[in-house]
Structure 1
Amino acid sequence: MPASATKALRVAVLADSDTRWKWGALTANRIAPNDSDIHLDGYLLRGRATPTARQLQEVGVDADSLREVTAVEFLRAMAEEPYDVLVLALVGGGVQAVLHGLKRVWEDRADRPVVVTGYVGVVYEKLADGLLLRHGADLVLANSRQDADRFRAVYEGVGADASAVTEVALPFLGGAEHTGDHDPYTVVFAAQPSVPDNRRDRTYLLDRLIRHARRHPEREVLLKLRSKPGEHTTHIEELPYQKLVQKADPPSNFRLVYGHMGEVLDRTDLLVTVSSTAALEALHRRIPTVVLTDLGVREALGNHHFVGSGCLASWDQLDDGHRPVPDPEWVARQGVAAGGGYATAFDAARRRITELLRRPGGLPPLTPYYTPVTAPGYLPGILARHHLGPDGTPLPGAPAADREPGAVRQIVRRAARGAYRHGVQRVAPVIRRMGEL
């Protein structure tokens, strides 16, 4: 459905966590043609990481409407609502399931929306798996030149159409450039929910952060946390730092902080992390950034992605006053426009969407690489997790909003989430420790 300057571009974003909602909603605004007035409807896919009201507020992205749905409910809405663009901000399996469901829903429509998907941040694991699960969208966004080259190589290597790969940048880069140290000098450690994934390493990092605060009492040392206990983000957090710090004795210049990362970076003089995408946000603003090597440079940690960046260093080096100097060529390859150019990073995506919206006769059916023929032992399980059959049709008994009383449904869902989180954060670690005895 063509968009024009006199008509709002109707955009829908389906997200399964707070970070993916942030990526999806900001991406929707970045990739919309410049002459468009956006009407944005948000859909939150019900699951273990469905964001809370506090998390949504912290993300700070507004929508004209926002509601929680199952995959089946979402597909029903897509059959009825006339959107121009749809952004799928989901884990790979969720993208694949929805693509097959949409293919079924839109099989008789030529005026379907342009479908866009991509990644929230650094792609350092499951490259082929994640990419092939996203294949079938009209645009598969790559956050950097390096990612665009890798994505095309994977698709071409399996004989899949690679034309959907479109180079952009992370949509949440921005903010004032760091031009001088603050008073007090502020060190921020950007924590990650699942990296590292064990008590010993997380306790070590917390201990080194506290030791740095004691060694430099003139500095403010902040532990930036993504979520509060009981909340989930994109990844499960079994050992929240909030609980670990209760057993420590931090000095007065150390504290925990929440909130929007951009606001925290406004007062940051040194950003420290293991492999968080916050490192790219900091580099974009020319904030000195360190990716820690204390636990090794390993694929499991994701810090191997930063090899060649000039940012790798240890706590011992930081304690002694080391200030990293990033490699400009590496930074440029990662889509970090510290020297300018960010304003044009989404031009290719805007042009592509404009072309597709104006395509004579509408858009062809969605054609994911995975089908019952190419992946008969893999695809059905992915679809079944979202209550879809092998052809994308809802399975009998699939949950729907009109089958349960609203209040009862809310209570049951909250109880289930609470039980799940208790199991992840309390029961599972105990069982793991017992197994180590």
Structure 2
Amino acid sequence: MPASATKTLRVAVLADSDTRWKWGALTAQRVAPAGAGIRLDGYLLRGRATPTARQLTEVGVRADSLREVTAVEFLRAMTPGAAGEEPCDVLVLALVGGGVQAVLHGLKRAWDGAGRRPVVVTGYVGVVYEKLADGLLLRHGADLVLANSRQDAERFRAVYEGVGADASAVTEVALPFLGGAPYSGAHDPYTVVFAAQPSVPESRRDRAYLLERLIRHARLHPGREVLLKLRSRPGEHTTHIEEVPYQKLAQRAALPPNLRLVYGHMGEVLDRTDLLVTVSSTAALEALHRRIPTVVLTDLGVRETLGNHHFTGSGCLASWDQLDSGHRPVPEEDWVARQGVATGGTYATAFDTARERIGELLRAPGGLPPLDPYYTPGTAPGYLPGLLARHHLGPDGAPLPGAPAADRGPGPVRQIVRRAARGAYRHGVQRVAPVIRRMGEL
């Protein structure tokens, strides 16, 4: 029976961090054809940012099964006829670009000669403000490359067409985690939330400056509740490395009683937010979707490295001095509409095109053609082999000698060693590396 005729659609999601797991799992739910039940099987790619149990709980997305794998183990699980594995109908790759490219080449080889294969979907977890061409070409070859806004869809197609690659996979959707009740007025107490980011800004000086300004705002407005919304606890990693956690900076500061550090689901924090402040977090789009007053800070400049240049024309750019004086931004409606932030009630239909395309691909007579990435050993012989080797794959997508075996799970000793190694890596990133850099600047 064709996959589209079954009552339950089997969807697999491969993710490499907590934020990408959230995007991938919610995307899987959004793009499933109408009327289809879903079985969601999750795979977490083993690496420095593999989410912890706490991070997975905070994301709030439940899977029917969930396991940690290497790229080679995942590819073997996706190989037709693999022992103990059920084939999926749709596969969502929620990975960095290099991971997507490696898995696409591995899948192309694994599915060679298969009668039918899953529909492969990929995309971005938020605002695309850097490495546009690089990231897009690394994702080329998937059946659907999702664009979170009209603006992104236009940019994506222009990149693919500009290098002579097929752009038909680009499909406009929206961020899958938008939602929540529209803002209806001030809370008691009035609540200001600063949405922190792991790597923006990067330097200790800039992060200390932002914390100091948040503290100053809380002292200037003692009647307000001021929240520093954090993504991860010390020792955890998200999509990006956080070398200078705000928690450690806050330990050395005298915080006023109306300023608190908070974790948890961003949607729940936004439920009580009257003003969202950030440098360039995707949380700004979540807040704009709900019409919560939103500020993108200009204190450190409007720069590509910060990502806040993406918000030029939004009406949301402002400084802490302006906020301290009572400024409240008014977003530009045309800009908001182009960003996939559906404030006019059209969000429910934002994924219709993707659903229809997936349904058509699932019903394709005789199955789908082989995956066809733009990068091949012929088009990028000096780039592709290195990308594949990082995931223990050769230039043809085959596992390299010595790659981890999928037919045996890690024993207790290997699990302990992995946790210790991951902890040592994070310690090196957050403590040792900054010290070495400071010594080098003397």
Aligned twin of 2:392: 387
Aligned twin of 1:55: 55
Matched, 1:190 2:207: no
Q: 1:89 aligns with which of 86, 94, 118?
A: 94
Mapped contact 1:3–1:9 kept (Cα < 8 A): yes
Q: Please, which runs of 5 or more residues in structure 2 have no aligned partner?
A: none
Q: Return the alpha-carbon distance in structure 2 between the equivalents of residues 300 and 352 of structure 1.
A: 35
Mapped contact 1:143–1:335 kept (Cα < 8 A): yes
Count, aligned residues: 437
% identity of equivalent residues: 87
Structure 1 residues 36-55: aligned runs within 5 Å: 36-55=36-55
Q: Return the alpha-carbon distance in structure 2 between the equivalents of residues 333 and 306 of structure 1.
A: 12
Amino acid at match of 1:37: G
Give the drift of 1:7.
Answer: 2.1
Amino acid at match of 1:93: G
Aligned twin of 2:362: 357
| 3-state SS of paired residue (1:237) | coil
Mapped contact 2:11–2:38 kept (Cα < 8 A): yes
| 3-state SS of paired residue (2:276) | strand
Give the drift of 1:405.
Answer: 4.9
Aligned twin of 1:69: 69
Aligned twin of 2:32: 32
Aligned twin of 2:427: 422
Aligned twin of 1:204: 209
Q: Return the alpha-carbon distance in structure 1 between the equivalents of residues 359 and 206 of structure 2.
A: 48
Give the drift of 1:401.
Answer: 4.3
Deviations 1:181-227 (A, max 9, x none): 00000000000000000000000000000000000000000000000
Amino acid at match of 1:78: M
Amino acid at match of 2:43: Y
Give the drift of 1:82.
Answer: 1.3
Matched, 1:366 2:371: yes
Q: Please, which runs of 5 or more residues in structure 1 have no aligned partner?
A: none
Q: Return the alpha-carbon distance in structure 1 between the equivalents of residues 329 and 406 of structure 2.
A: 53
Q: Return the alpha-carbon distance in structure 1 between the equivalents of residues 212 and 226 of structure 2.
A: 12
Structure 1 residues 318-337: aligned runs within 5 Å: 318-337=323-342
Mapped contact 1:186–1:267 kept (Cα < 8 A): yes
Amino acid at match of 2:251: Q
Aligned twin of 1:167: 172
Q: Return the alpha-carbon distance in structure 2 between the equivalents of residues 406 and 341 of structure 1.
A: 50
Matched, 1:303 2:289: no
Q: Return the alpha-carbon distance in structure 2 between the equivalents of residues 20 and 400 of structure 1.
A: 25
| 3-state SS of paired residue (1:28) | helix
CA 5–328 in structure 1, closer or farther in 2 if over 3 Å, else same: same
Q: Return the alpha-carbon distance in structure 2 between the equivalents of residues 345 and 3 of structure 1.
A: 24
Mapped contact 2:72–2:406 kept (Cα < 8 A): no
Aligned twin of 2:286: 281
Mapped contact 1:114–1:353 kept (Cα < 8 A): yes
Structure 1 residues 141-156: aligned runs within 5 Å: 141-156=146-161
Amino acid at match of 2:305: A
Mapped contact 1:96–1:133 kept (Cα < 8 A): yes
| 3-state SS of paired residue (1:20) | helix
Matched, 1:340 2:345: yes
Q: 2:118 aligns with which of 113, 117, 127?
A: 113
Q: Normalised by the size of structure 1, how large is the TM-score?
A: 0.99
Mapped contact 1:17–1:51 kept (Cα < 8 A): yes
Aligned twin of 2:231: 226
Amino acid at match of 1:120: V
Q: Return the alpha-carbon distance in structure 1 between the equivalents of residues 310 and 382 of structure 2.
A: 32
Give the drift of 1:316.
Answer: 0.2
Deviations 1:125-145 (A, max 9, x none): 000000000000000000000
Give the drift of 1:321.
Answer: 0.4
Give the drift of 1:408.
Answer: 1.2
Matched, 1:177 2:182: yes
Aligned twin of 1:158: 163
| 3-state SS of paired residue (1:147) | helix
Deviations 1:141-171 (A, max 9, x none): 0000000000000000000000000000000
Give the drift of 1:406.
Answer: 1.3
Mapped contact 1:182–1:269 kept (Cα < 8 A): yes
Q: Return the alpha-carbon distance in structure 1 between the equivalents of residues 408 and 35 of structure 2.
A: 42
Aligned twin of 1:261: 266
Structure 1 residues 400-411: aligned runs within 5 Å: 400-402=405-407, 405-411=410-416
Q: Return the alpha-carbon distance in structure 1 between the equivalents of residues 15 and 305 of structure 2.
A: 25
Q: Normalised by the size of structure 2, how large is the TM-score?
A: 0.98
Amino acid at match of 1:378: Y
Matched, 1:293 2:298: yes
Give the drift of 1:339.
Answer: 1.4
Amino acid at match of 2:162: G
Give the drift of 1:402.
Answer: 4.0
Mapped contact 1:83–1:113 kept (Cα < 8 A): yes
Q: Return the alpha-carbon distance in structure 2 between the equivalents of residues 416 and 6 of structure 1.
A: 44
Amino acid at match of 2:436: I
Mapped contact 1:2–1:84 kept (Cα < 8 A): no
Mapped contact 2:4–2:362 kept (Cα < 8 A): no
Matched, 1:434 2:439: yes
Mapped contact 1:5–1:35 kept (Cα < 8 A): no
Aligned twin of 2:23: 23
Please give the root-mean-square deviation of Cα atoms over the aligned residues, in Å. Answer: 0.9
Matched, 1:104 2:131: no
CA 50–178 in structure 1, closer or farther in 2 if over 3 Å, else same: same
| 3-state SS of paired residue (1:431) | helix
| 3-state SS of paired residue (2:321) | helix
CA 404–2 in structure 1, closer or farther in 2 if over 3 Å, else same: closer
